[in-house]
A and B are shown apart, each in its own frame.
Chain A
Amino acid sequence: EPEVTQTPSHQVTQMGQEVILRCVPISNHLYFYWYRQILGQKVEFLVSFYNNEISEKSEIFDDQFSVERPDGSNFTLKIRSTKLEDSAMYFCASSDYAEQFFGPGTRLTVL
C-alpha cells in the first residue's frame, strides 16, 4: 500500500542552525502539507502546497520557514534559523484531493 515517508526520523540541532526535513509523498497525489505537533498538544497546520506553489499557510509559517518540491518525488520543509520553540514532531501529508495521508513524522529537537 502506498505511504508517505519522511526522513530523518529524529533530528537534533543547535538553536540558530538550519534544518531541512524531507518527505516523499504518495506518488499520484497532487496536494502536499506540513503539520507540526508540539509534545502534548494538538496537530497544527503549517502550510499546503499545490502546483508548485504555496496555497495556504498558517501564522506559524513565518519567514523562517520555506517549502520546496525540488524534484518529482521529494517535498521539503526548511527552517532557516531554529528556535527552541520549534522543537516538535513535524508531519508531512499528501492527498489526491479530499483525504490526507500522513507520514510517520520527524522529531525535531532544538537545543
Chain B
Amino acid sequence: TQLLEQSPQFLSIQEGENLTVYCNSSSVFSSLQWYRQEPGEGPVLLVTVVTGGEVKKLKRLTFQFGDARKDSSLHITAAQPGDTGLYLCAGAGAQKLVFGQGTRLTINP
C-alpha cells in the first residue's frame, strides 16, 4: 500500500516568515502533484513534479521532488495571509492519486 505522510499537519506563522512543508513516502511515484484545497471545495492543482531532483517555482512557492522520487517539499518565502489554506501532496500511481493527509497552513497578519 502506497502512503504519503505530510508534516507538519498544522502550521501557524506570522506574515513575512518562511516555511517548508514536507511530503514523504517509502514508495516511488512517477510524479507528484501539489494541490491547495479551500473548505467545501475541490483540490486545485498548483504544480506537478516529474523528474527526481526537479525544482519548480510558482511566485513565492518552491516545489522540489526528491532524487529518489519518494518525497517532496513545498517552501513558501515571505508568507502572506492569502497563502492560508490546506495544502495536499498527491503521488501518482498507475491509474490513481494517493493523497497525503494535508498541511493546514495559517498565516497571521
Contacts and interface: CB of A to CB of B under 8 A. Distances in A.
A42 B101 contact: yes
A80 B48 CA distance: 35
Interface in B33-64: 33, 35, 40-45, 48, 50
Interface string B82-106: 0000001010101111111110000
Interface residues on chain B, size class: 20 to 34
B45 A100 contact: yes
Interface stretch (A12-20, A66-74, A101-109): A101-109
A42 B42 contact: no
A45 B101 CA distance: 13
Given A42-B100, A43-B99, A44-B99, A99 B48 contact: yes
A43 B44 CA distance: 13
A91 B88 CA distance: 15
Given A98-B50, A99-B45, A101-B45, A42 B99 contact: yes
A58 B96 CA distance: 9
A56 B96 contact: yes
Given A42-B102, A56-B96, A99-B45, A107 B40 contact: yes
A56 B41 contact: no
Interface residues on chain A, size class: 20 to 34
A81 B30 CA distance: 36
Interface string A9-45: 0000000000000000000000101010000011111
A52 interface: no
Interface of A: 4, 31, 33, 35, 41-45, 48, 50, 55-56, 58, 89, 91, 93, 98-105, 107
23 contacts: A33-B97, A35-B97, A42-B99, A42-B102, A43-B90, A43-B99, A44-B99, A48-B95, A50-B95, A56-B96, A58-B96, A91-B42, A93-B97, A98-B31, A99-B33, A99-B45, A100-B90, A102-B42, A102-B44, A102-B45, A103-B42, A104-B42, A107-B40
